[in-house]
Structure 1
Amino acid sequence: MKNKISILITAFILSISFNACTDDDNLRFQTVESPEQITFLNNFLSEYVLSEETASNNAERFLWATPDFGAPTAVNYFLETSPDGTFTEENTEVLASTSETQVSVSVSQMIDLAEAKGLSNEQVENEDGEPVFDENGDPVYNNIGELFFRVRADLGDNAENSPETTSAIQVINVRWLIASTGEEGPVSFRNLFLVGNATAADWNNDNNNMPLVRNPENEDQYTFTGKFLGGDTNEFKLLEVRGQWQPQWGLSDGTLAVNDGTGTDPDAFVNDGEAGYYTIEVDLDSTTFEMTAFDTSDLTTYPSLSIIGEATALGWDGDTEMTQSSFDEHQWFITGVELADGEMKFRATGNWDINWGASTPISGFGTMGGPNIPVTAGTYDIWFNDIDGSYIFIPVE
């Protein structure tokens, strides 16, 4: 009798286990038939400048919101491009696929896309291979155009007859810098200038506004270490062009944002501390901003500072003096200085015991006794920061 009862109990347990396994095997997530449209979260620039010198840099990091498919399952994303923006089956290229909600596109990739649609950074030629000029005798180029992007999301193999959602088409305006012919000046990069009542310029957008220094290895990264006011005068923003209010950078919901002239001005950055020295770091690609207090206890104040070298009018035999900022004694500038092809350095008190140099042109971070700075002939506004040895040359048009 006991054996029969044991057999019945065992059979009952096996039956329950089999049914449970069967139910698990048949489990399916129910997805929504029409998920919400996926949307980009970027603050796109009004124009993206492409150059061979910056080909390895990121041009843009495409960010998007996670769409609601009505099921807790992984989503596949595809960043797509189309030469003419039609996105037909035959005219769509998947630029990247990922399970993340972001993809970076390099300058090199944008150059390839620009070239594929017929853009070029060289002068247009006629059927006979001769260079083309306009009615004013200026060279004709086909270096400006539009690139088209969208992001598509689906569930792939995670659901039968997977629904998908596709973003609106994002138009990216590009300008491919003209190839150097050996006669042109330096390549033009984007600059950022301080404006606001926490800065030397106050809220004047054309008041010799101090520039941030661009990372020579990454044109999207900028830094500045210097004096900021606090208290009731604690706000500032960043401008790309002195004398113009747009493009204007600030904060939107705590995230770095820009008004390129087609939107709404962002909120100001705020110095929450007292007046003093701070380091700000800006990354336009990752849209991040950071401001930290800087210890000034070991700083040296110099009575004079100058540029010197074969690229300057006085060569290596004389100093061209820079002007010390009356707002911040560690910031030095010289405006409208003409330089020749060659090299130069910064030095204090006209003495070689205190000199700064680096190997990168246009912008960089000089070290004490460092190498000569390479210079391309042109007219520049030059800023030097004796706190960290940073410098930036701003071409004057």
Structure 2
Amino acid sequence: MKKYFKSALLLLCSVCLFAACADDNDSNPTLKIPETFVLNTPNYAGYTVDLKSTTDSLSLSWSQPDFGGFPVAAHYMVQVSKGDSFKVSQEQADADQTGAKKADYANLSSVLTDCKYKYSAEELDKLIEQLNGWDETNIPNKANVFVRVMSYIPTSTGTTDTVYSNVVKLNVAPYYVMLKAADPELWYLIGACIGDGQWTNSADAVGTSMIPMYVAPDQTYNTKTGKGIIEYVGYLTTAGFKVVKTPGSWDDQLGSSDGALTIVHNDGGSSNICVPSDGYYKITLNTENYSMTVVPYTPAVSTYPQMLIAGDFNGWGTSTAMTACASSNNHDWFYDLDTSADKTTAKFLTDSSWSTNWGGNDFPRGAGAQGGANIPVDAGKYRVFFNDITGVYMFMAK
């Protein structure tokens, strides 16, 4: 038995997109909403997955729902339940100010357009720990986890009827981890016009071939997923670039469908993103839905031949130079800071006169202001990034 979706708006849009002319509508496929679709059982479902010792990504795959041959670009979300009930989502529980609603499932992924997904054991562990309310005193040696995929068709007015896959049961050995607000999700620029232009995709290349995007001032981020809006301002050329989520992997990336500025997420045949002319641009990425814009940046920009970093860690000396990420038109700098012994402070400056310097109250990331406060730095090892156009900075733990 299949449900027939009758949204006049969607069908009208579909006719505009796919119908050649009015007199051959009878031969066009009719959109049908299936009852379900197949989530494949992964091979690791056959044994207990030790979430603490599993370092490789875990994969899921599924078949595209059968919409009766209708050309549909479906979206997907992977969902995890602690008891195979899928009655109250984490979002519904969070929105309930009375506290009466308790979540029994949550989204493991954000919005996907491919019929596959890779996730880490740590992501799954944190999710089920939160759903079950475990702490270090009651976390079990083994637990069952239930996974399904939700599919829907996006429209300009919302979504159509949702379709759910079958449920797959996983057996896991969880471990306790102290839960805290998730760090903002970072993505990295890479390409012929980024850094050294060598397209070296590796963790060691962050700062040379890859430049991280920065948190956006005055933005808030999902405390559970870290998703939200991140930005980058810098000089781009027509040589092209892409954006990747994880250094060393091309699995999650943003490219172009037309070799220009039409951005696509995880499109297997995507081209490089190319600006129409060399110049300064602002890139804005919403990591919740992978929408991204690249627009000209018009304010005046100053260029500095060097950037220094100073603080208690070096006695406020003015000779500690940062490294330029690019050889020309550079505005991003990095420095490897080792302050393992104790907490410290830091500021950024252009020369020993201190006439141009940036500081701020926030750590490990924030927006520095001219003549701002000393940045409080926790003890640790960091690769410090600074953008001299916007003043944003980031202390990335090593």
Q: Tell me if the contact between 2:264 and 2:270 (Cα under 8 Å) persists in the aligned partners.
A: no
1:94 to 88, 95, 104: 88
Displacement of 1:299: 2.0
Q: Tell me if the contact between 1:280 and 1:292 (Cα under 8 Å) persists in the aligned partners.
A: yes
2:292 to 284, 289, 296: 289
1:374 aligns with 376
Q: Match of 2:315, as an amino acid?
A: G
Q: Tell me if the contact between 1:257 and 1:266 (Cα under 8 Å) persists in the aligned partners.
A: no
1:199 matches 2:197? no
Q: Match of 1:276, as an amino acid?
A: G
Structure 1: where are the runs of 5+ without partners?
Answer: 1-29, 41-63, 69-78, 98-103, 127-140, 154-162, 259-263
Q: CA RMSD in A?
A: 4.9
Q: TM-score, normalised by structure 1?
A: 0.56
Write out aligned runs for 1:34-183 (5 A). 35-37=33-35, 82-84=81-83, 87=84, 91-95=85-89, 114-117=129-132, 119-120=134-135, 122=136, 148=147, 151=150, 166-169=164-167, 178-179=177-178
Q: How has the CA–CA distance of structure 1 residues 322 and 248 changed in structure 2, closer, same or farther, with 3 Å as cutoff?
A: same
Q: Tell me if the contact between 1:281 and 1:289 (Cα under 8 Å) persists in the aligned partners.
A: yes
Q: Match of 1:228, as an amino acid?
A: L
1:222 to 220, 225, 230: 230
Q: Tell me if the contact between 1:250 and 1:257 (Cα under 8 Å) persists in the aligned partners.
A: yes
Q: Tell me if the contact between 1:249 and 1:266 (Cα under 8 Å) persists in the aligned partners.
A: no
Secondary structure (helix, strand or coil) at the match of 1:316 reads coil
1:53 aligns with none
1-side partners of 2:188 and 2:126: how far apart? 28
Structure number with greater Rg is: 1
Q: TM-score, normalised by structure 2?
A: 0.56
Write out aligned runs for 1:199-348 (5 A). 199-202=194-197, 203-206=199-202, 207=205, 208=208, 209-215=210-216, 217-218=220-221, 219-220=226-227, 221-230=229-238, 233=239, 235-242=240-247, 244-251=248-255, 254=262, 256-258=264-266, 265=268, 267-295=270-298, 298-310=300-312, 312=313, 314-324=314-324, 325-335=326-336, 337-338=338-339, 340-348=342-350
Q: Match of 1:287, as an amino acid?
A: Y
Q: How has the CA–CA distance of structure 1 residues 106 and 265 changed in structure 2, closer, same or farther, with 3 Å as cutoff?
A: closer
Q: Tell me if the contact between 2:148 and 2:165 (Cα under 8 Å) persists in the aligned partners.
A: no
Q: Tell me if the contact between 1:250 and 1:268 (Cα under 8 Å) persists in the aligned partners.
A: no
Q: Tell me if the contact between 1:143 and 1:177 (Cα under 8 Å) persists in the aligned partners.
A: no
Displacement of 1:302: 2.5
For these two proteins, the number of residue pairs brought into alignment is: 285
User: How many percent identity over aligned positions?
Assistant: 21
Q: Match of 1:329, as an amino acid?
A: N
Displacement of 1:224: 0.9
Secondary structure (helix, strand or coil) at the match of 2:316 reads helix
1-side partners of 2:187 and 2:162: how far apart? 40
1-side partners of 2:142 and 2:334: how far apart? 34
Q: Any idea what the Cα deviations from partners look like across 1:229-283, whole Å, max 9, x if unmatched?
A: 11xx2x21123343x133431147655424xxxxx74624422311121111111
2-side partners of 1:188 and 1:366: how far apart? 19
Q: Match of 1:210, as an amino acid?
A: I
Q: Tell me if the contact between 1:255 and 1:288 (Cα under 8 Å) persists in the aligned partners.
A: yes
Structure 2: where are the runs of 5+ without partners?
Answer: 6-31, 39-63, 69-77, 93-105, 110-124, 153-160
Secondary structure (helix, strand or coil) at the match of 1:282 reads strand
2:41 aligns with none
